[in-house]
Chain A
């Protein structure tokens, strides 16, 4: 407390342009003394639960042993990363992660936009609300339950096999079949997520000035023309921001879903970085190695997001970026 007070007395210490002089600064400290004390537990909380784990990332460069602790374990430099890059298992999970999440993006990214565009054309308010409400529902159900439901639907006794059976197709064990598993993952993750992701586009569509549409109607533009020339261009900034955001998650292939839906028969196509980190770290207790793989993932995600944000700024300008 006293240290910050001393710092604050020095004019210009934080590089900010000064609005008041040292005296008013001291006055603010006095005035808000109670509130500043109130902040102390929160700041401590953030240090312990957000910053200590970030500092803890250093065990990616240690031969971490729980008995020796964080400070006693020997440094190994980049050994864990070298180990990962020599491990064929790592390349397999990397490939699976990228494939699943690229599929999810290619098929899953446009669907909420299309859904929002189409549903906003529905005039019947009651029907519109019903569809919207139903589409958000899966977002509020855990992947344990969703996974259970989807597994039951694709099981031998499930409706999918029943419908295929009507066309004379032999029942298939979809959930244990490497050639179907990824498609099922992608399909079900889109089904569970499209409604919730569409909210932001709905908000943007609702925010469009109705005069624009009225003027276009006077000029004789039909619905489709108005969608193409008014709605979609005005949605572009939001679409761009969402795209940039989703880039950071390109190595998140959906741990909750996969962890609950996969099984040993499909490990070859469904094992992803997050499940690998879980297994290496918490099951095999190879803490240093698992942290290194996890760190690799976050760094790639961060780089991709920064790149995408930079590209968006260059192409579209400030409205199209996260910051």
Chain B
């Protein structure tokens, strides 16, 4: 009795989860289908598989210069942002990892304030203008460089390293700086990699700061190029490519949009399944109260 009931429940459970799986993946799948279809998926709607696979719209998208400018800028931003952020976080976290560091409690509290209160949009915007960072890459990588959350997680990692390592290095005459760069940082690669991933994804996907702090075409980030194409349907350089595409009809703007979407999320889709567990690990670490 219990067994059959349990079996029915199991079937039900797997059915629900399959539906969940389909619902989460279907939106992405539609873009794959539309971008690859050589028939008319882009015009007529409901298709689970492309009728005839063609890479024409991908070939054309390669001619779309703004996309590659965006790609380049975003890669630069992400690398610079991750580098600065990790360095600053580690430099902040290491002293705080010493429980008997004078003022430790006060500095930590001082940094925690930002969890509760912040300046909001306008004061931050004006600050960037006053500092002369407007329309430079610094406006995108400096604010938010040190996140208290990341500092605390790295601090906890440093604390978990055995003290004996440091003590023996000290006996050998090494100072704190040497210990930090030669011993602590190399041993902390797991947490550094994890945080670099978080920060990196954040920079890759960030768009609002780029929207308000930059305005030159050659400084445009990938997300803003996408925004111009996907959201605003802005016919600039995009329309040139689109005309080329339509010469080979029946391709449409929708197909090119789907192609651009695919090109921009492809790097993420490729690395994501392998890196996903690091993100989740981080959340678990952060979830520990106190």
Residues of A within 8 A of B (CB): 4, 8, 14, 16, 25, 28-29, 32, 34-36, 38-39, 41-43, 45-46, 48-57, 59, 66, 70, 115, 118-119, 121-124, 127, 130-131, 133-138, 140-142, 144-153, 157-159, 161-163, 191, 195, 199-200, 203, 222-224, 241, 255-256, 259-260, 274, 277-278, 281-282, 287, 290-291, 294-295, 297-298, 302
Contacts and interface: CB of A to CB of B under 8 A. Distances in A.
Given A36-B103, A142-B205, A162-B46, 13 more contacts: A16-B105, A41-B88, A50-B114, A52-B119, A123-B10, A141-B268, A142-B207, A163-B46, A200-B287, A223-B6, A260-B227, A260-B231, A282-B125
Contacts of B23: 191
B126 A149 contact: no
Nearest to B24: A134
B287 A140 contact: no
B208 to A, nearest CB: 7
DSSP class of B's interface residues: helix, strand, loop or mixed? helix
Interface string B20-56: 1101110110110010000000111110000000000
Q: Identify the interface centre among A144, A163, A290: most chain B CB within 10 Å of its CB.
A: A144
Q: Identify the interface centre among A66, A135, A145, A161: most chain B CB within 10 Å of its CB.
A: A145
Contacts of B273: 133
Nearest to A146: B27
A48 B127 CA distance: 9
Contacts of A28: 100-102
Interface in B240-290: 254, 257-258, 261, 264-265, 268, 272-273, 276, 279-280, 283-284, 287, 289
B95 A35 contact: yes
Interface residues of B, number: 91
A49 B276 contact: no
A145 B231 CA distance: 9
Contact of B28 (A45, A133, A149, A223): A149
Nearest to B129: A66
Nearest to A70: B126
Contacts of B34: 152
A258 to B, nearest CB: 12
